[in-house]
Amino acid sequence: MKESRALVMVGARGPVSAVLVRPDDATLLYVLGHGAGAGMRHAFMERVTTELGERGIATFRYQFPYMEAGRRPPDPPRVLEETVRAAIAAAHEQAPDLPLIAGGKSMGGRISSHVAADNPPPELKGLVFLGYPLHPAKQPAVKRAEHLSRIRIPMLFLQGTRDDLADLTLLTPIVEQLGPSATVHIVEGGNHSFKVLQRSGRTDDEVMAEIADAIDAWASELTPE
């Protein structure tokens, strides 16, 4: 797999770091945003990149401005959305021959969904959410899903059964109501970071392979050969 560094220009705020990882047999490009508490080089992001690359899916990871600057908390929603749009444009410029999807871990996926709901970039063909943060921990609610009905491209939700930021009794009906364009893949025993308990008898490696296989299977329907 070829890895190349890139810069994403976020309006007047200047550049943020990005990295394109493209396997030789790439058939799809996933613009992958990070979660609120860890950047694009977090071990989870690296592992997803590796697993997807082994399945012919390229990734374009990028930093949000606050993470690039080493600040907390995250940028305002307007800035986060501007960053996602800039990253999608930069990724498409880097690999214009590949169909493009977006999303990412937790916050990265949620912000990408807002971009897809309102004036979506024409090159965006689908969304993949790695733990959609439906609500804050121990505060079940559905407000963060109200915009999803405006999205007109396929969506894949990957959710763990122990995810305390997404009560599945709330999320599953929401996905069903979105119709055939939306799919949920349940990771048994996974928490918000898809970690499983030792007593489950499963390893983190097995879980990550499951996640990558699910994305690969979904993508094969999105971009049939």
Omega before 173 within 30 of 0, i.e. cis: no
Q: Residues for the chain: how many in total?
A: 225
Structural domain spans, the chain: 2-222
Q: Which helix (H) or strand (E) holds 60?
A: strand 57-62
pLDDT tens digit sequence for 54-113? 999 999 999 999 999 999 899 999 999 999 999 999 999 999 999 999 999 999 999 999
State pTM to two decimals: 0.96
Q: State how beta strands 2-9 and 15-22 pair.
A: antiparallel
Inform me whether the pLDDT recorded for 42 exceeds 80: yes
pLDDT tens digit sequence for 132-148? 999 999 899 999 999 99
How many alpha carbons fall within 13 Å on the CB side of residue 202?
Answer: 16
Inform me whether the pLDDT recorded for 197 exceeds 70: yes
Token pair listed for 19? 């990295």
Percent of the chain, pLDDT > 90?
90
CATH label, 2-222, candidates 3.40.50.720, 3.40.50.1820, 3.60.90.10, 1.10.10.10: 3.40.50.1820
Token pair listed for 61? 């990871």
pLDDT score recorded for residue 53? 98
Report the distance separating Cα 73 and Cα 182, nearest Å.
31
For residue 21, which phi and psi values (nearest 5 degrees)?
-115, 115
